[in-house]
Chain A
């Protein structure tokens, strides 16, 4: 099964929600605090994702979008923004293409 290293980025004030995600995924991850030149510090959970992780990640991202909370997911140096349910769906669809390139796309995703 393919894997991908991803970083799940949330504002520092939402850092505790990253622990909820690692609990649900039953996986260890590392939380990074990063600060760019603009001075804003964000929390990023770095973890290895598999196709099995995707449904859990999707429901966690949807729950955040429902509460109007933004999440940024990066892998292979590319950032994907999840502000809305639609964006979360696109994001997880893109992740599934990377994790399982031979799988057929889910109905209604194209």
Chain B
């Protein structure tokens, strides 16, 4: 059954192309996490098996079919997170970030069944590929450890869902305890925020907005600075700031939605077990592993936003980022959960439980600062460009220019050539699934020599 599901949704090559060494690593981690979580909050086997695939969708999912529960992990997700980590570690310029994001947009339009739009982003990705720098070998080891932690977090999140869905008593107790501990963190953060003057919040938001504009357009002075400050007030601050809710309000909202509460609980469980995994497998302390895992959640939020955009747009200009998505809420609560990551009573012991009940906490040294650092780095390098529509401001004219050059072309969302072109342009030709067609080979010379649509000879 699961074989047929994968054949239909991921393609017949999705398993053949998996790197066997990586598959063995994921299998090992799957068993490690399952065993550890079973000892903490479950007594059964959460899933029947793990299946590793390699597809442009780069998505992990849990499937129940034919009485079996299967976790599908996508090797390409690890590669995407590793590439995004590189942008962060290298403090990539906005133009380089744009070039890589175009590839992600192309692949998510493809995964959303809109290859004609995917092709436009893929073409721009190729046109801007000279902006992509090679990896800095100096940071390679740290990046790999970062990505390993993020992949562990994704697997742990899926396994946690299986345990929570089984509805056992230990998992239910863990849920109640998580809500209690998170409330303490939320109150503490709200108290700190309440002591911050309103104009201080305004100043921080303005600083970040202007920094994003500087990265995109260079430093501004005089009239240009006045224009940017006006943009901040009119376009961003007035729209976004009134929507900011307190952490307690956010927690209450989450707890009132069972589906969202389960997501946040599973994030918290995954953070907990990821910190243990990183300590034992990588000798990485919690104050490094947890920020890495939170960056992983940032990546997932980014991919989720792109996916949502690709699902409802046909490649036309529009607002890509939504500030009120569930993934944003998950991220905010996960940051709180990370602060008190060792919150499960079965881990911390009775003495610590008593301390927590009395409101005393001892975060990992440096953890709070590390979380803030990663949050600010992610915003500065990747997020703010999308949040403030500067990415769209750069890409949309390029897409419109492309349409002017190419004119009306015949690519439709069911044209198999278009799917192939996108994968080839995105450097994923090995994932092209053979589809028999009349009178042409799959990767015929005309397509490989001339991947642009609508040109003579195709």
Residues of A near any B CB (own CB < 8 A): 5-7, 30-39, 44, 46, 48, 72, 74-81, 87, 90-91, 93-94, 97-98, 101-102
Contact = CB atoms under 8 A, between A and B. Distances in A.
Nearest to A110: B410
Interface stretch (B56-64, B82-90, B92-100, B274-282): B56-64
B60 A30 contact: no
Contact of A35 (B10, B62, B436): B62
A46 B112 contact: no
B62 A34 contact: yes
A3 B129 CA distance: 40
A13 B112 CA distance: 20
Nearest to A75: B8
B433 A37 contact: no
B12 A94 contact: no
16 contacts: A6-B8, A32-B1, A34-B61, A34-B62, A37-B60, A38-B304, A46-B1, A74-B8, A76-B8, A76-B435, A77-B13, A77-B14, A77-B433, A80-B414, A90-B412, A90-B413
Contacts of B112: 79, 81
B437 interface: yes
B437 A76 contact: no
A30 B5 CA distance: 9
A87 B91 CA distance: 42
Nearest to A35: B62
A72 B414 CA distance: 13
B125 interface: no
Given A37-B304, A87-B413, A77 B10 contact: yes
Given A37-B59, A94-B414, 7 more contacts: A30-B1, A33-B64, A37-B61, A39-B262, A44-B9, A76-B12, A79-B112
B339 interface: no
Contact of A31 (B65, B158, B437): B65
B300 interface: yes
B214 interface: no
B326 interface: yes
Contacts of B64: 32-34
Given A78-B433, A87-B413, A7 B8 contact: yes
Interface in B397-435: 412-414, 416, 419, 433, 435
A78 B11 contact: yes
Contacts of A33: 63-65
B433 A93 contact: no
A35 B326 CA distance: 15
B324 interface: no
B345 interface: no
B111 interface: yes
A36 to B, nearest CB: 5
Contacts of A102: 438
A77 B412 contact: no
A91 B60 CA distance: 26
Nearest to A78: B419
Nearest to B266: A39
A15 B219 CA distance: 55
A75 B11 CA distance: 7
Contacts of B63: 32-35
Given A44-B5, A72-B113, A98-B435, A36 B414 contact: no
B5 A46 contact: yes
- Which 7 pairs between the two chains have the least Cβ-Cβ distance? A77-B11, A94-B414, A32-B65, A79-B113, A7-B8, A81-B113, A34-B63
A32 B60 CA distance: 15
A79 B118 CA distance: 13
A49 to B, nearest CB: 10
B327 interface: yes
Nearest to A90: B414
B4 interface: yes
B4 A46 contact: yes
B312 to A, nearest CB: 10
Contacts of B326: 38-39
Nearest to B439: A101
Contacts of A7: 5, 8-9
